[in-house]
Structure 1
Amino acid sequence: MSIEDQILKRIIAIPKGELLLPTDFSELGSSEAVRLSLFRLEKEGVIRRVAQGIYVRPKVSSFIGILIPTAEEIVKAIAKRDRIKTVPTGSYALNALGLSTQVPLNLVFLTDGSPRVINIGKRKIRLKKTTPKNLLAKGQISSLAIQALKEIGNGKVKPEEENKIIGLLKEEDVKDLKHDIALAPVWIQKIMKKALEDGKN
């Protein structure tokens, strides 16, 4: 069985919608042979290229056609492939926490990897190099909360926004929350600590 046939057999066994990386098939042949096989399978319409070196066997909706993976899924795949850390920032962090209904067209993620811009259709994902401290947060909610509050700005957080964030932080693992509070600016620490204080009552 050729490398292409082996890759095809494995792809068909994977649920539609899952992202595929060339490294997923590295034991089947050389990197060049795997890359060429994926290129041919893309031309045949078996898989779809969503970003450089990232493919998907797309799901198809009877209402809207081919479903493209979310930006977050693509960033996770890039992080896995390149062995880097990423943290969503800005308006995307606000949207992820339910503090904004706007889905930003261009997304910014902090990373310890190489800075770059990834084009996905009309959208852009920017990986922005940052200091290690900004990537040390352990909790998913608390990490988003820190970035969302930074986006809103010191002194500009509305009471309803603060209450929403505190409510979400109560769902965070206490150990992770305490760890992440220490990483935040002092004004953000004061807000985050309220989740711990409320939890004691």
Structure 2
Amino acid sequence: MWKSSNRRLAMSQLTEVTPVGGDLKQYRRRYLLVNCLFVNDSASALFDSIERDHVRPLLKDLGFRKRALTFSRARDGLTDVVSLQRSTGNTAGHVRFYVNCGVYSSEFSTVLGQTVRDRPREGDCQFRCRMETLVPEAPQWFEIEAFQYRLATEDWVRARGIYQSIRAEFGSEDRWPRIDENLKRHVPPAELARVCAVVWNG
């Protein structure tokens, strides 16, 4: 549920983009898009929460320090580096990211006449690879899809908010039945009526 301060902020945003006497359908569409935004249902927000709540604590326990999306750990004259790299093709509802790994040697950099890095990035490492090279069973990339994530975590309220925002955006298009069918395939039958409830005829 929203906090009242979030509701007021959302409505103030809505007032700014909805002219007085504007089209009611556009008003409702914008309201749903603002609603989806302010409950942090974007895949980017989910990526941030997964990094903060899962990746960061795991690597911290292993001795890594964090800077942006790069984690580093010094050991025996070497530095281990792990970085998360977002795909350039990400959208509001979908994030793909890669896990890059590297090992940096300050001694090797000195021999090569390069500037020694105290906090090397993955691109500074002499040995670099993706995680699946080190862990063959790991996937080539990881994906976060906001709607599926809310369903997987049984957050039916936010799943419904995402469904409604997608309907507001695409419900009037000829391809909506195909989109709708695809979305509903991911919803458990027992929750179908609640998640995919129609708020208005789009």
TM-score between the two structures when normalised by the length of structure 2: 0.27
Q: Which has the larger radius of gyration?
A: 2
**Higher relative contact order (Cα pairs below 8 Å, separated by 6+ residues):** 2
